A and B are shown apart, each in its own frame.
Chain A
Amino acid sequence: MWTPPALCPAPLGNGPEGDEDLNDARRYSYKAWWTGLMLNQSRSIHEKMVLFWHNHFATETQTIQDARFMYGYNAMLRTHALGNFKALTKAVTIDPGMLVYLNGYLNEAESADENYARELLELFTCGKGPDSQYQEEDVRAAAHVLTGYKVDKINITSYFDPTKHDVQNKQFSSWFSNKVITGKTGMMGTTELDDMLNIIFVQQEVAKFICRKLYQFFIYYEIDSAAEAEVITPLADIFRAANYDIRPVLAALFKSEHFYDPANMSCLIKSPVDYTVGMCREFGVSFAPASDYNNAYAQWRSLQAAAGNQQQNIGDPPGVSGWDAYYLAPQFHELWINTDTLPKRNYLADQMITTGYVSMGQTLKIDPLVFTKQLPDPSNPVLLIDDALAILYRMDLSGAMKAYLKNDILLKGQQQDYYWTQVWNIYVSDPGDAMNTALVVEMLKALYKTIMNLSEYHLA
């Protein structure tokens, strides 16, 4: 079970709502904190799943406004990210942030608001594929089931007001076997939500819908008929058999032959979060320690803003359907790369590897020596490039390209490999030789800059 890390300033959970300026400041902190968690993650799929669920059960901080609700929504996702999807769906439904975002707190018997009910069916559980056949009457019925939930800004929680709840019976369509949810008075009204989730989660399509999204997030956007039959269908069976526990599905997917099939490798375009956080982690970019929170938060914020600039501003997707790149046909993840965002991605990489990426009074920089020293045999320029590419790329480069990197970039046209070997060995034996070390750094910078500028670097 995830518990909030010590990094989160304790008063945030109990402080007053504050005005717009306070919530803006907290929003930046919240996004910086989240970025810090991603940068410092252990070898676990948890952070990727938090991002996946944020995109799936999307909310926007700009609408939620109350920073305590923003944080609460994230904490809720974290708790359930590798838990149970049905429990997660229920938690999202009564989450204060989500109740604000999709008007759930305004949904009352006298004036039912269908906003959340519609998205619950269309975006969160059944989807809108050809096998999802819910009707408008199901949206209406769901909306009435969900009447009476409210948010409490003093205790920073949600609650149920039975006087605002519609106690009539709720009739669902033939696709839901014409089920009726009996309306209940008093606090028993909350059990109608459980009744409704039981009805929804009987649908075979729910498991398939989620498995398809997981497939598109982790493998590739295209699900051909073979993949649908041989991957999605069995994964969905596993999901249902596990009563909608998430881990068994991921374990099956990540241990499958399909996942390791070379035909499915290196074909995902890195999202801006993948790109920015991944770059910092693989190059070992150093950040201020969390205890130095003034600088740490500013640095995390600077990186998060760069990803936002590249069109993935965590906490604020473009809408409740999440980021286009994860679902919009025909281009899907190609949408991350256009004539505006590609120069921005390249600009970040170039700044990081040369002068440092200066933003918000902070400088983020790749130290090429840190990365290079971990390689098995950096003195050999052929192996240096092979081993660096094995970490930085997911696909092979041709012999011609590798030769270009070695001869034209690293060696700058020098004919002999020993030109590099020499200076590297001097660095190792005498790092205090400033001029030699500077030369080594310049050569490595040119190499890694070129590697990051090539299109291969944008693929995962």
Chain B
Amino acid sequence: MKRRDFLRYTAPATILPTFINGFSIKAFAASPFLAALENTALDNDHVLVMIQLNGGNDGLNMVIPLDQYGKYAAARSNIAIPEGRVLRLAGQTKTGIHPSMTGIKQLYDEGHVSIIQSVGYPSPNFSHFRATDIWLTGSDANQVLETGWGGRFLDATEYPGYPVGYPNAEMSDPPAIQIGSIVSPAFVGHGGSMGMAVTSPTDFYNLLENIEENTPNTRAGKELKYIRQIQKQTNRYADVIKAAAAKVTSQGLIPLITTSPHS
């Protein structure tokens, strides 16, 4: 999905099945399915919805420093947004947003949007992949991590030892769910990915029950073990996700937007 389409996309409940079945759509949109998951969570449960937009973004023309407009306009005289066209935000005069972002402005004025400025790190890296890795793993510029910040949080604080022992009575839900067929590196914990990829929650295929066998202590055995584990997981989370999908009602997501000098 093109980023521009995503930012202005609204999803009526009726097209939910085609949306979730459309594996080619890797981005989330306002999804009744996610809202349903949110509704099934208890009051003291925390559900964080992350939306990653890939590609380059001109952050300085998206969130515009009105309190320094002169310097802003001088620095980019050829592409600065004219001062009169910058959208004002309720309750403050220092910051405005790009004229196209009328939807976000409305949400902001209603109190549903926060903007976090200058999210970044020293010595930013210019490689697309390294930079993305840094964002998703939460590493320093000169540090390479193989786990994601989401995965480490879930791993260490919430679900130690995952995936061994999960799901269980205390935690029957997958720690993270991603709509689409790939799980983001952000969710990689020490035991591998803590996210579960879902296309159609109501269309899971029931697999043959595996006969429990020891796997040889070889490379092949290691991979076999991994595949068998996914076979089992696929079965066990199916009920939870089906139940959540059955409770689809209306939308109700609260977006959180971060900006950085190098987004």
Contact = CB atoms under 8 A, between A and B. Distances in A.
A321 B132 CA distance: 12
B227 A340 contact: no
B196 A339 contact: yes
B231 A342 contact: yes
A339 B219 contact: no
A295 interface: no
Given A267-B222, A458-B227, A459-B224, A401 B211 contact: yes
Contacts of A342: 207, 227, 230-231, 234
Contacts of A401: 211, 213
B130 interface: yes
Contacts of A264: 219
Interface stretch (B69-77, B81-89, B185-193): B185-193
Contacts of B205: 343, 346-347, 350
Nearest to B190: A330
B129 interface: yes
Nearest to B174: A339
A242 B218 CA distance: 34
Given A264-B219, A340-B181, A453 B211 contact: no
Interface residues of B, number: 42
Contact of A338 (B130, B193, B228): B193
B210 A267 contact: no
A337 interface: yes
A269 B230 contact: no
Interface string B185-224: 1001000110011110000110110110100001110111
Nearest to B228: A455
A4 B220 CA distance: 38
A398 B208 CA distance: 18
A433 B70 CA distance: 90
Nearest to B130: A128
A265 B226 CA distance: 16
Contacts of B219: 220, 222, 263-264, 267
Interface string A385-413: 00000000011001011001000000000
A134 to B, nearest CB: 11
Interface in B100-156: 126-130, 146
B126 A340 contact: no
Given A330-B146, A331-B188, A347-B205, A267 B223 contact: yes
13 contacts: A118-B127, A263-B218, A265-B220, A266-B220, A309-B181, A331-B192, A340-B23, A342-B207, A342-B234, A347-B205, A394-B220, A455-B227, A455-B231
Nearest 8 interchain pairs by C-beta: A267-B219, A340-B197, A455-B227, A266-B220, A343-B205, A267-B220, A453-B208, A330-B146
